[in-house]
Amino acid sequence: MEPEPQLSARSPIDRRRFLALVGGVSALGAFVAACGGKAPSSGIASAATVEASPGPSPTPTPRPEPIFPAGVERFRLMPDTQWETSGIAIHSGKQGPRVLVLGGVHGNEPGGWMAAEQIADWVPLIGSLIVVPRANRLSTYAFVRTGDGFGDLNRAYPGNPNSPQPMSRMAAEIVQMANYYRPHWLFDLHESWMFYNERGPSGGTAFIGQTIASGGTADTLPLIKKSMDIVNERINLREQFTLRTTVSGQGGQPPPAGSTPRPTETATPASTALPGSVTPQLAGGSSSLGFARWVDGCTPVLIEMGQYEQHESRRAELHTMLVGTAMGRLGML
């Protein structure tokens, strides 16, 4: 039995209740901690005391809706390790949708974490906004997809707390954190190299820029589609997004000469069609599109921004437009 990690006395969440809620897994119990200087930049300074939801219940079906009083919580994933990264949860105090945003899952996709760092400053009118701007923080600093031996976070879900690969352990902490906050939506902000609409007849794994993939259902896909349509009306033709309801990423042609080959984000066996749930099973783990399997009621949305001849500031802006539009449709902004 490992000793249980210590939470700071300033932790905004009652630790016992939290552990009960997440099943009492001690090794993962310390993701929430009052976090001083390592939190993402935010205009919201003070953390409120937050009571956990009514619990515990070992196998609740369905589980009661959690209640998060108005305030801000800062938490750390993989605390006190070199892979530690910060997150923030901004609670309106009003019942409503809860949205989780991940940036920096891959370290060489700056548009995603730049956007997530901006989104971390938003204040939802209803529900809660939870943001982890740099999930694979060290890799964002090194500007590599993932560090040597880290493993690929977006191939690692649901993760394993005992894995030798740190990103598998990070995946497990993300899933555990998500099971605490119970987001209805996950926006996972990524970048590809080329644009999907410029892929040519044979397509290719590097050509999924300007796409949105979702593990949504007939109930949730319309909101994603509508949000995308609204954004598409406001941007130029090349920037416009495509909703990929069938996720496939195998084969295809190489990227143009001089470009950097990029692995696809959502490589998965073909023919995982929507509606229904997209649950790509990948060697060693799944992408975030399988999130609903581990976080009940969560619709994953994976946004891919093309890097080729599209400035990173615009990529970040388009990410924020998509997330902001969806949150607007949800009544959160």
> Tokens at residue 14, please?
């009652």
Contact 333, 214 (CB under 8 A): no
> Tokens at residue 321, please?
């437009």
Contact 7, 35 (CB under 8 A): no
- Which residues are CB-neighbours of 158 under 8 A, at least 6 positions away? 171, 172, 175, 285, 286, 290, 293, 294
**Closer of 50 and 303 to Zn ion (Cβ):** 303
**Closer of 108 and 277 to Zn ion (Cβ):** 108
Residue 189 Cβ vs Zn ion, minimum distance, rounded to whole Å: 8
**Closer of 140 and 272 to Zn ion (Cβ):** 140
Residue 314 Cβ vs Zn ion, minimum distance, rounded to whole Å: 17
**Closer of 305 and 332 to Zn ion (Cβ):** 305
Residue 310 Cβ vs Zn ion, minimum distance, rounded to whole Å: 15
Q: Select from 187, 67, 85, 75 the least CA-distant residue to 128.
A: 67
- Which residues are CB-neighbours of 171 under 8 A, at least 6 positions away? 153, 156, 157, 158, 159, 160, 285
Contact 78, 134 (CB under 8 A): no
CA distance 72 to 67: 13
**Closer of 53 and 108 to Zn ion (Cβ):** 108
Query: What is the binding site for Zn ion (CB under 5 A)?
Result: 106, 109, 190, 265
Residue 251 Cβ vs Zn ion, minimum distance, rounded to whole Å: 19
Residue 52 Cβ vs Zn ion, minimum distance, rounded to whole Å: 32
Residue 56 Cβ vs Zn ion, minimum distance, rounded to whole Å: 35
**Closer of 109 and 317 to Zn ion (Cβ):** 109
Element housing 56 (H / E): none
CA distance 4 to 317: 41
